[in-house]
Amino acid sequence: MSRPKKQKQITISKTKLRKFEEETAAKMIMLSAAYLMDEFGYDEDKLIAYWEGLTRYAEAIDQKLISVRQVAHIIEEHTGLKMGVWE
């Protein structure tokens, strides 16, 4: 019987991880905005409202007024859609 190989531990600095998270979030916001424009005809005013709404929600999460899990629960209650969340 052969032993399983030990997995090599990989570490990443908090700075690099934060940069990756910020870049990923920026890409998702851009993709969402493009989709809203293409599929639903969002114009400048609607995209600004979208951005302002995202900012309000993000600030509420940052200030611990609501959690991502709670937002997911609200979405599920109102739509039936189950969102995969983390925290």
Q: Which residue has the tokens 């851009």?
A: 30
Dump pLDDT digits (tens) for 67-81. Answer: 999 999 999 999 999
* pLDDT over 60 at 87, yes or no: no
Question: For residues 39 and 50, what is the distance between their CA atoms, to the nearest angstrom?
Answer: 15
Dump pLDDT digits (tens) for 10-53. Answer: 888 999 999 999 999 999 999 999 999 999 999 999 999 999 99
* pLDDT over 80 at 54, yes or no: yes
Phi, psi (rounded to 5 degrees) for 31: -65, -40
Residue 46 is predicted with a pLDDT of: 97
Residue 9 is predicted with a pLDDT of: 86
pTM of the predicted protein model:
0.67
